[in-house]
Amino acid sequence: MGWLSLLASLPSNEAVRTAVLVGGIAAATSSAVGVFAVIRGQSFAGHALADLAATGGSGAFLLGVNQFWGFVAVAVGAAGFMEAAGVERRRGRDVATGIVQGAGLGLAALFLYLAAQTTTRTGATFTVLFGSMFTIDPSGIPPLLGAGSVALSTILVLSRVLLLSALSPELATVRGVPVRAVSISYLIVLAMSVALSAVAIGAVLSTALLVGPAATALRVARGPIQAMAAAVAIAVGATWLGIVLAYVSYAWPPLGHGWPVSFFVVTLVVLPYALTHMFRRPRPRALSTAQSSASVPQP
C-alpha cells in the first residue's frame, strides 16, 4: 500500500479518530499545565508523578479495570502526599521524590509480573509504560474528555494567581492569594494531566508532553498566555502529526506493523526544542529568568 492510499483511508479509521481525540485533549492539557510546571520548577515532580502513575496503571491492569482510573488515583494521591510532605519545597525535594519514585516503579514491576503470571492479559508492560493510543476503547473517551476539560479550565482560571505565586510568593500572600489552596489545586491538575498523557503516550513518556512543548514555548513566546497557546499548539501539532506518521509507517519496514505512535510524538516534541536552541539565543527577560532560576532538571 502506498502513502497516498494510506492517507486516504486515515479519516475513516476508527482507531485513528479515537487517538486524535484522546491524544489531542491529553496534549492540550499537559502542555498548558506544563507551562506552569516549568515556570514553577516542578518538571521533576511531574516526572515523578508520571512514574508513580505507572504504578497505578499497572495495578489497574492487574485488576482488569480501565487504566486511566489507576493513573488518576495514584497520581492525585501522590500529588497530595507531595504537598503534605512539602516535597514542593526545594531542599531535599529531589531526594525524597526520587526514593518514592523508585519504590513506585518497583511496585509497578510487581503488578506487571503478577498480571503476566496470573491473567491472560497481554501487552501490559508496553501499554502502561509507552502507551497504546491506537487501542483505546472508544467507550472510554468521555471520562478522558471530561477530565481534560476540567483540568484545562482550572488551569486557565488559575493562570494569573499561579504565575504570581510562582514569581513572588510573598507578593501573592500580601495580595490575599490563598497560596496553599492554589498550590494544592495546581498539583491535582498536574496529576490529572499526567494521567491523561499516560493514557496517550504511556506513563514513562508522559513527561515529554508535559515539559517539552512548554519549555519550547517559553523560549519563543512573549508572555505566559502566549506561551500557553504556543505550548498547546506545539503539543497538539506533534501529537496529531505523530498519529499521521504512525499511520503511514505501516508502509515502512518492518512492513505491515507500523511504528509506535509514542515514538513519533516524543520525537516531534523534542525537535522544535532543539531548533530553538540552534537558531536563537534565549533573551534575558523576566519569564525566562524565572524559568532558569528554577533550575529545571530535564528528564
Could you tell me if 219 and 288 are in contact, meaning their C-beta atoms sit under 8 angstroms apart?
A: yes
Out of 21, 96, 109, 116, point to the residue binding other proteins (CB under 8 A).
116
Q: Smallest distance, Å, CB 213 to other proteins?
A: 24
Determine the Cα angle at 105 with ends 139 and 149, to 5°: 35
> Which C-beta is closer to other proteins: that of 30 or that of 66?
66
Nearer to other proteins, 122 or 149 (CB): 122
Site string for other proteins, 76-115 (x = CB under 8 A): -------------------------------------x--
Interaction of residue 69 with other proteins, rule CB under 8 A: no
When asked if residue 214 is in the footprint of other proteins (CB under 8 A), the reply is: no
Q: Which three cell numbers stand for residue 111?
A: 503488578
Residue 170 interacts with other proteins (CB under 8 A): yes or no? no
Backbone angles phi, psi at 33, to 5 degrees: -65, -35
State the Cα angle at 164 between 186 and 74, rounded to 5°. Answer: 10
Q: Give least dist CB 123 to other proteins, A.
A: 4
Q: Check residue 222 for interaction with other proteins (CB under 8 A).
A: no
> What secondary structure, in 3-state letters, does 263-289 show?
HHHHHHHHHHHHHHHHHCCCCCCHHHH
AA identity, residue 170: E
3-state SS assignment for residue 93 = helix
As a whole number of angstroms, the distance between CA 8 and CA 34 comes to 34
Q: What 3-state class would DSSP assign to 298?
A: coil
- How far is it, in rounded angstroms, from Cα 78 to Cα 9? 42
The Cα–Cα gap between 192 and 195 comes to: 5
Q: Which of 258, 270, 271, 288 binds other proteins (CB under 8 A)?
A: 258
- Pick the closer one to other proteins by CB: 129 or 162: 129
Residue 117 or 295: the one with the smaller Cβ distance to other proteins is 117
| Options 98, 102, 123, 297; binder of other proteins; rule CB under 8 A | 123
**Interface residues for other proteins in 8-67 (CB under 8 A)?**
9, 12-16, 19
Closest by alpha carbon to 193, among 158, 155, 138, 229?
Answer: 155
Least distance to other proteins, CB of residue 56, Å: 17
- Does position 71 interact with other proteins (CB under 8 A)? The reply is no
Asked if 260 is part of the footprint of other proteins (rule: CB under 8 A), the reply reads yes
Residue 243: other Cβ atoms inside 10 A: 23
Question: Residues in the site for other proteins, rule: CB under 8 A?
Answer: 1, 6, 9, 12-16, 19, 113, 116-127, 132, 134-135, 137, 246-247, 249-250, 255-258, 260
